[in-house]
Amino acid sequence: ALPKASNFLRQLIESDLAKGTYASRRWAGSPGDAAHHAQGGPDPAKIRTRFPPEPNGYLHIGHAKSICLNFGLARDYGGVCHLRFDDTNPEKENPEYVDSIIDAVQWLGFDWRQGGNGQPYQASDYFDFMYRAAEHLVETGHAYVDEQTVEQIRIHRGDFSKPGVDSPFRNRSPAENLARLREMRAGQHEDGSMVLRARIDMAHPNINMRDPTIYRIRRTTHHRTGDTWCIYPLYTYAHPIEDALEQITHSLCTLEFEDQRPFYDWLLERLIETTRLPDGRVVGGLLASPPPRQYEFARLNLTYVVTSKRKLAQLVYDHKVDGWDDPRMPTLAGLRRRGYTPAALQLFAERIGVTKSDSWIDYSTLEGCLREDLEPKAHRGMAVLNPVKLVLTNWDAVMGAGHLEPGTLPALPHPIEGQASPLRHFCIGQQLWIEREDFEEHPPKGYKRLYPPRPGADGQMLPGSTVRLKGGYVIECTGCTKDATGTIVQVQATVVPDTKSGTPGANSVKVKAAITWVGVADGVRAEVRMYDRLFLDAHPDAGSKDFIESLNPDSLKVVSAIVEPSLAHAKPDDKFQFERHGYFVADRVDHVPGRPVFNLAVGLKDSWGK
C-alpha cells in the first residue's frame, strides 16, 4: 500500500463523512420522481465520486491523475467511483473510444464495476430526464427559447467590462417558451435557428451566469441514441444533472471549471426546490438534496508532453506518430506499450498529489516512478545494440577448437523473497558480439574500452587495451578489420587464460573496464526501438506556438541488436533491464516468437537534463 498524504479533498471528505452530510439525502418531490434516478438506491452514507471522460479520444496521463484520484478516494473511504461516459456531444464521439477508455481504466487497476450494474454509466441514458428538467425550467420561468443567432448571443453576453444585453425573446411567457421547446425537440426548426437558455442574470459579474445556453438543435446521429434526438444538452447543463442523478457526493474537476461552479449550484437548486405555479400546481423536487458539490483541483501539466485529446488526435491523424498507442504518446495505451506499469502510474499520481494551483511536473518524475517500480521486478538481460563481431584469435589454442564455455547469471539482482531467482544460461566461444561503440581504432583521451596496439612516444608499439568481458574472461585487443568503405567489420583480441569471473584467477589481471557481449553461437537477433522525448520543447503547446513545430525528429531510432538467448522466450509486455541500456519491454503489438522487438521504456539514469 502506498503512503497516503492528506490533501484538501481528503479533508473535505472526512468532514462530510463525520457530519453525515449525505446520510440524509432525500427528495422534496413525490416519491415517483425517484424512479427517474439512475442509481437504484445507493447507500447514501457512502461517498460517491466519478470519472467522466468524453469518449472523443484515448485517455492520457492527465486522465490517469483524475482516475487515480477519484477511484483512489472512493476506495480509501469505503465509497464508490462511477465510470461515466459523458457522451452528450455526438459529433466527436465513437465506440472505439468507449472501448479504449474501459480498457485503460481496467488496466490502471480500478474496478469500475463495483458500484454499478456491471455497465459503465452513460450520460445519454439521462437524455429523457434532462429534457424533462428543461421543460420544468421553462414552466417555472427559469429558461427561455432564444431565437437570436449564435453570433448575436455572443455579442449580447457582454464581457468583464460591461453587462450583457437582454435578448428580445427573454420575456416570452412560459407557455410560449414551452411550445417552442417542444417544437425544437420535434424537429420543427433548423439547426442553429434557436437555443434554450437558462434565465438568470444578464448583468451577473460571472459571465457564465449570463443566461447560458443549455440546449441546441443538432441533427447528428448519436452513437447510442441514434436519431432519437435532434436537440442535445450542453456540457455545463448536462454534467451537474448526471452527477445528481447518480447521487455523486464529491464531483472533482480541474480548475478551469471553477467559473462554472455557480451555474452547477444554481441549476441543481432549481431542480431540487418545489414551486407553486400560477395555476396552483406544485412542481419540482426533481432531484434529491443535498446536491453533489463540485470541487476543483489543478490539472496535470507535464513537461515535454501535450495533454489535450484534440492535439493528440492531430498527431495520430497527421501520421506524426504511429497511432494512439505509439510508445511515444502520453496516452495510457501508448505508455502501456512503452513499458509503463499500472503501479508506476499510481505511484506517480500519489507522488504529484493534488493541489489547488496549476504547476508543471517534470517529466523525470514520471520516469523515476517507472524505474522505482521496475528496479526490483524486471529480469536482467544482456543486449548488444549496434553489434560488431569480436573474434578471440587464440581461443581454439587455449580452450580447444569448437569449445563453448557455459555461463550463468541470475535473472534478478535481488531475488524476490521466498522465490529462487531463475538463472540465465549462455555461452562464451571464439566469436562474440560486442557494442560497436566499445571499440575505438583511434581512442580519444581517457577511453578505457577496446583499442588496438599503437605506437608510443618513443616509437615502441604499446599493447592494445585489456578489458573484462562481463561474467567472462579478460581479453587483450589486438586489431580490427575493415571493409572497402572503411567500416569496421570485425575486432580481434586474445583471451587471457584462467581469468574467468568467479574463478581464483579472476583478479590476476587488473582491468579498467568491463564490456557487455553476447555469444555468436547462441545470441538472438532482435529489433530494439530506442525512444526519446516526442517534443524538444519543455512546454510544446504553451503560448501561441504550433506544438507540431517542436516535434523531435529523432524521437525514434530503430537499432539492430543481438540479445542473450533467454530473451528469445520473452512474452509480449515482459519487462527487462538490459545491462547499461535501461529498461525495455517486449512490444505488445509487434513482438512475436522468432522476431523479438523491444522498446526502450526508460533509461537507467535521468537523462532529461542532458
54 tagged catalytic: yes
- How many C-beta atoms surround the C-beta of residue 494 within 10 A? 20
DSSP single-letter state for residue 538 = S
54 makes contact with Mg ion (CB under 5 A):
yes
Check whether 604 is labelled as a binding-site residue. Answer: no
From the list ligand ATP, Mg ion, none, pick the one residue 518 interacts with, judged by a Cβ distance below 5 to 8 Å according to partner type.
none
Q: At what angle do helices 261-272 and 127-139 cross, to 10 degrees?
A: 80
From the list ligand ATP, Mg ion, none, pick the one residue 299 interacts with, judged by a Cβ distance below 5 to 8 Å according to partner type.
ligand ATP
Give me the least distance between CB of 54 and ligand ATP, in Å please.
4
Per the DSSP assignment, residues forming a β-bridge with 576 are 379, 584
Q: Using the rule CB under 6 A, which residue among 62, 115, 339, 472 binds ligand ATP?
A: 62
Number of residues that bind Mg ion (CB under 5 A): 1
| Residue 464, burial from CB neighbour count under 10 angstroms (0-12, 13-18, 19+) | buried
Beta strand 461-462 with 26-27 is unpaired
- Residue number with the shortest CB distance to ligand ATP? 62
Q: Which of 92, 299, 380, 470 is catalytic?
A: 299
For residue 283, what is its C-alpha cell? 412542481
Residue 236 half-sphere exposure, CB side, CA atoms within 13 Å? 23
Check whether 299 is labelled as a binding-site residue. Answer: yes
Cβ closest to ligand ATP, residue 313 vs residue 514: 313
Cβ closest to ligand ATP, residue 65 vs residue 261: 65
Q: Using the rule CB under 6 A, which residue among 92, 223, 299, 448 binds ligand ATP?
A: 299
From the list ligand ATP, Mg ion, none, pick the one residue 52 interacts with, judged by a Cβ distance below 5 to 8 Å according to partner type.
ligand ATP
309 tagged catalytic: yes
**Residue 283 dihedral angles phi and psi, to the nearest 5°:** -125, 165
From the list Mg ion, ligand ATP, none, pick the one residue 449 interacts with, judged by a Cβ distance below 5 to 8 Å according to partner type.
none
Q: Which of 10, 54, 170, 380 is catalytic?
A: 54
330 makes contact with ligand ATP (CB under 6 A):
no
240 makes contact with ligand ATP (CB under 6 A):
no
DSSP single-letter state for residue 227 = T
Please state, in angstroms and rounded to a whole number, the distance separating the CA atoms of residues 202 and 257. 20
Helix boundaries (H) for 300-413: 309-317, 332-338, 342-352, 363-374, 395-399
Q: Using the rule CB under 6 A, which residue among 38, 245, 300, 378 binds ligand ATP?
A: 300
- Residue number with the shortest CB distance to Mg ion? 54
Cβ closest to Mg ion, residue 247 vs residue 307: 307
Cβ closest to Mg ion, residue 54 vs residue 590: 54
254 makes contact with ligand ATP (CB under 6 A):
yes
Per the DSSP assignment, residues forming a β-bridge with 27 are 288
Cβ closest to ligand ATP, residue 188 vs residue 308: 308
Check whether 609 is labelled as a binding-site residue. Answer: no
33 makes contact with ligand ATP (CB under 6 A):
no
> What 3-state DSSP class applies to 52?
coil
Cβ closest to ligand ATP, residue 224 vs residue 309: 309
Q: Which range, of 51-59, 104-112, 374-382, 386-394, touches ligand ATP by CB under 6 A?
A: 51-59
Q: Which range, of 302-310, 422-430, 436-444, 530-538, touches ligand ATP by CB under 6 A?
A: 302-310
Q: Using the rule CB under 6 A, which residue among 21, 307, 331, 341 binds ligand ATP?
A: 307
Site for Mg ion in 573-602 (CB under 5 A): none
Stated length of the chain: 610
Q: Which of 84, 197, 210, 309 is catalytic?
A: 309
Q: For residue 335, what are the contacts with CB-CB under 8 A and spacing of at least 6?
A: 61, 329, 345
Q: Using the rule CB under 6 A, which residue among 21, 39, 49, 66 binds ligand ATP?
A: 66
Check whether 340 is labelled as a binding-site residue. Answer: no
493 in Cβ contact with 517 (< 8 Å)? no
From the list Mg ion, ligand ATP, none, pick the one residue 582 interacts with, judged by a Cβ distance below 5 to 8 Å according to partner type.
none
Please state, in angstroms and rounded to a whole number, the distance separating the CA atoms of residues 495 and 392. 6
Please state, in angstroms and rounded to a whole number, the distance separating the CA atoms of residues 273 and 91. 34
Q: Using the rule CB under 6 A, which residue among 33, 54, 440, 573 binds ligand ATP?
A: 54
From the list Mg ion, ligand ATP, none, pick the one residue 62 interacts with, judged by a Cβ distance below 5 to 8 Å according to partner type.
ligand ATP
53 makes contact with ligand ATP (CB under 6 A):
yes
Alpha carbon distances (Å) from 480 to 166, 384, 401, 456, 574:
86, 18, 22, 19, 37
Please state, in angstroms and rounded to a whole number, the distance separating the CA atoms of residues 93 and 513. 57
Q: For residue 59, what are the contacts with CB-CB under 8 A and spacing of at least 6?
A: 53, 67, 100, 101, 104, 105, 331, 332, 333
299 tagged catalytic: yes
% helix / strand / coil in the chain, to the nearest 5? 30, 25, 45
Check whether 557 is labelled as a binding-site residue. Answer: no
Number of residues that bind ligand ATP (CB under 6 A): 14
560 in Cβ contact with 387 (< 8 Å)? yes
- How many C-beta atoms surround the C-beta of residue 243 within 10 A? 27
Please state, in angstroms and rounded to a whole number, the distance separating the CA atoms of residues 263 and 210. 10
**Residue 96 dihedral angles phi and psi, to the nearest 5°:** -60, -40
Name the site residues for ligand ATP (rule: CB under 6 A): 52-54, 62-63, 65-66, 253-254, 299-300, 307-309
Residue ranges at the known binding site for L-glutamine: 86, 235
Residue ranges at the known binding site for ATP: 54-56, 60-66, 254, 299-300
Catalytic residues: 54, 299, 309
